[in-house]
Amino acid sequence: MDDKDIIKLYFDRSEKAISKTSEKYGRYLMRIAKNILISHQDSEECVNDTYLKAWNSIPPKTPQSLRAYLGRITRNSAINLCKKRTAEKRGTSVADIIFSELEACIPSELTVEKDIDEKFLISLLEDFLRDQKEKNRNIFVRRYWYCESLSQIAKDLSMKESTVASILYRMRLNLKEKLEKEGLTV
Domain with residue 71: its CATH number is 1.10.1740.10
For residue 111, pLDDT over 50 is answered with no
Residues 122 and 168 in one domain: yes
> CB–CB of 36/83 below 8 Å?
no
Residues 38 and 69 in one domain: yes
Q: What's the total number of domains in the chain?
A: 2
How many other C-beta atoms are found inside a 10 Å radius of the C-beta of residue 104?
A: 11
For residue 121, pLDDT over 90 is answered with no
CA dihedral 145, 149, 155, 160 (to 10 degrees): 110
DSSP state of 182: T
Residue 157 burial (C-beta neighbours within 10 Å; 0-12, 13-18, 19+): middle
Query: Where a domain ends, among 89, 116, 133?
Result: 89
DSSP state of 162: H
Segment 149-177, tens digit of pLDDT: 899 999 999 999 999 999 999 999 999 88
Residues 71 and 102 in one domain: no
Residue range(s) defining the domain that contains residue 115: 98-181
How many other C-beta atoms are found inside a 10 Å radius of the C-beta of residue 160?
A: 11
Residues 155 and 110 in one domain: yes
